[in-house]
Structure formats: C-alpha cells, structure tokens
Amino acid sequence: MNKPPIDVDATVARITFKLAAYDVTQSEKTAYPNEAKGALWSTVPAPDWVSGFYPGALWYAYEFAQRRGWPDQDQWRQRADAWTVGITEEQFTTTNHDLGFMIMDSFGHAFRLTGEARYKSVVLQAAQSLGKRFIPQVGMIRSWGDIDDAKNYIVIIDNMMNLELLIWASENGGPADLKKIALDHADRSIVEFFRADDSTCHVLDLDPATGLVKRKYTHQGLNDESCWSRGQTWAIYGYAYLYEATGTDRYLQQSLKAAEYYLARLPTDHVPPSDFNSGLTALEFKDSSAAALASCAFFRLSRLCQAPADKTRFWDAAVQTLASLVNAPYFSKDSGFASALRYQARNYHPDATHRLTNTGLIFGDYYLLEALLAYDSATKA
C-alpha cells in the first residue's frame, strides 16, 4: 500500500501547536489533559495515571526544539518543567502501579534531557514506592486495589510499561532488588498473560496468599477470551524494552511472538480495531493510540533484531504505521479537535458515541511524538 511521505517537521509543528494552545489556557498547572471528543480536553489531577503524558509530550517537544535549534526551546523547557513539578508528590504514592507512566514520562525525561539532580531524586523515590506493591509469594506487582488487600491481587498487562522505572532506578543509585522485582514480574507475565496463539489477556486475579491464579478476564476488551489491541502493544513494547535493558533473549522472543500476532491481524492501514475479535472495522472503532505505541515498539525491534530480514520487516511496519497516523484521517490539523490523533479508544466499546471510544487521548499523542523522534533519529543518523 503506497503511503505519503512522513514530514516530521510539519507534523511536529502541528502537534506542538496543540500542546502550547492548551498550556496557554491554564494558569494553574494542575489540570492534566486526558480525553477529547472535540476542541476541549477533559482533565484529571496529578494522582491520575495519565498525568505524566502531557508533561512527557512537552519534554519531547523540548527534545525536538533542541535538535532543530528552535529559538523558543527555553520556553518549551519551562513549560515542561512547570507541568512536571505538579506531579512531584506522586513519587510517594503506593496506591497504584502507574508510577512508571506518571514519573518516567515526566521526571524521567526531565532528567534525561537536563541532567538536573532534582528530577532524578523523584524517579528514585517513585521506584521504591512502586516496589512496595510487589510480594514474593505472588511474584508480580499488584496493579489495582489496596496494597493490603488479602482477598484479591489484580495484575494487568499494562504493568509491563512500568518496569522501566524499576530497572532504571536500580541502575542509577536505587536499591538493586528493584531490578529483580521487575524481572520476576516480567517472567511470570510470560506464563500467565500469554495464550497459546501469543495473544494476551488483560487482567489476572490472583490469590495474594498463594499466588495462584483465580481467574483471567478483561476490563477494556470485548470479552475475556478476546485480544484488546492496546494490551497487545503494551506487551510488545514492554518486552522489547526489557531485551534492550537486559540482553535476555527470552524477552526479545516474547516481544516478537506478540508482534507476530499483532501484525498478522492488522488491516491495510496498519491501525487496529480496539479489539482484534470485535468484528468492527469502521474508523470509529479503531484505536490509533495502539498503533502509535506499536510504531514505537517496532522502531525499537528494528534496531534490536540481528537478522537483516527482521530489521527490515519491523522498520517497514513502524514506518507504514507512522505514515498512516500522520496523515488523514487519523491526524488532526484542525484546531477544533484538541488531540493530534483521532480515532483513539480507551476501551473497546460497540457504541461509537461512547466516551471510551472514537476519541482523542493524551497518551496517543505522547506515543506519536515518541515514534516521530525514533523515526527522526534513524533517518538522520
């Protein structure tokens, strides 16, 4: 399928225009963008799991500004810092597993791009807070629920994205056992989340006393046996990262298996339905946020795979996906739509007018910027 070229600079200009437009409306940097059906973002406070994505997108904008020598790069740094500071207290939270999203996407990028110690200390504390949601008899990090719940121990596939926080901290001054927690979680996730066809389930409910699985089900997909597409991409991305971080081949193999399942079921525009088993093919039931995440993962796999054929295959998949996302109908140049990406889905839902589907999501825009950075790095090398 022929795709128009990827104009990185023009695309980033439109995304950053939208990011800056929201910042101008907010004197108090405490209402974080979440979802958008039109021109206005719904917002969440700092403790919400999506709070890190808007400051993370601003840090990505600052990274582009540095690469291109934008005259307003200092302003992008100031914007990113102002929104990052608002999440500071979340470093101490032990009530959820989402600290990787909240802290690595904000403070993690801040430290990576500036080297300022004040950012690093928050990341290190957040990793220790997340580590408290792990108990050895289960061998996984509790995703949802009270940390002391003696009846249920809920773990979701999304948690693969929070392991980077633990590994990074363990290698940058934090406790060494944080890395073991991350790898124990990853190893058991291979056993419990993946089905025989390499699709993933969404939610595990385990016995906190014994670690035994009580049931497997979905919260965001079609049904308990279906494959929620963004859940599949959490797995592809998470295991690709783990291979890059550790060099352990089983993580690469697991990422490749999950990727094969995903690629074999893609429509021609490389943007999946919100659930691969939904049978719904219209734009309104797609999830371009899953595609953005997949593009990021495929760029990484194209670097990590040793076989030339695999490098080419994943490069092509990454670029073809990105090319779809930065053009109509998925990319929104319209100032009347808050998000850069259209046709995103927080959950599978059969009603296109429902809040959870056919919408804009801040994390889709964040991963779109990440994919553009990856493409820019590779093509400018």
Just list the catalytic residues: 98, 158
* Cβ within 8 Å of residue 332, ≥6 positions away: 339, 340, 341, 342, 360
206 φ, ψ to 5°? -110, 160
Neighbours of 136 (CB within 10 A): 9
- Inter-residue contact 219 to 230 (CB < 8 Å): no
Asked whether the beta carbons of 120 and 91 are under 8 A apart, the reply is no
* Rg, C-alpha atoms of the chain: 19
Report in angstroms the alpha-carbon separations of 1 from 310, 339, 372.
Answer: 20, 26, 20
Strand-pairing partners, residue 273, are 286
Place of tokens 């439109």: 14
Angle at 226 between CA 281 and CA 251, to 5 degrees: 110
